[in-house]
Amino acid sequence: MRYLKFLTVAVLSGLLLASCASVAHVEKDETVNFSKYRSYAWVESKDSKDDSKENVRVSDLAETRMREAVNTELAKVGWKESKSKPDVLISYDVLVENSVKDENSPIYSEPFTRWVYNPYSRRWVPIHYSSQFVGYDRSQRSVKEGTITINVIDAKTDKTVWQGWTTGEVNSKNLTSKEIQSAVKSIFRKFDVAKN
């Protein structure tokens, strides 16, 4: 019975975690008054010279999805895209790396019943032993981790004033529209610059 309860809790926890978005991280220049920013323009990112990382050439379709997702989130705080004299510049980077993920699965012993003879009642009496925690089954598997980073740069000073990023497991070198949408939404949940 305990095993069934544990299994139910484990399955429900797994489903809950699978439905959650990836965790985003944010760095913000606290000295900047973000309320003065109202317009933005997109800029291209330079390729990294670091050969240990697998730089991803984002397809035209993925780039369009990325820009659409960011534009939607920026519109929510009242920022507008402008080609002439924008307040900030927006850039993004996508990095996909091979990684190893450690997995730990708990192991439990099988429940069993032992029969003991009671000489006073002249009957066999069952004693039930429930399953016990034995340890963990540890394993490793190769995964691809994708990181999306979004940068907000002050157009007058060329100084990065806000940066958000998230990392999650991806299926291939190419990010899907769903992965892009999820990552961008996760990052912009922490885009609190309008409250400044």
Residue 86: alpha-carbon gap to chain centroid: 31
Which phi-psi region, left, alpha or beta, contains residue 122 (left: φ > 0; alpha: ψ -120 to 50)? Answer: left
pLDDT (0 to 100) of residue 17: 43
pLDDT (0 to 100) of residue 99: 85
Separation between Cα atoms, residue 166 and residue 138, nearest integer Å: 26
Q: How far is CA 28 from CA 13, 48, 69, 163, in A?
A: 33, 23, 21, 6
Q: What is the tens place of the pLDDT at every residue in 31-58?
A: 888 888 999 999 976 554 454 444 555 6
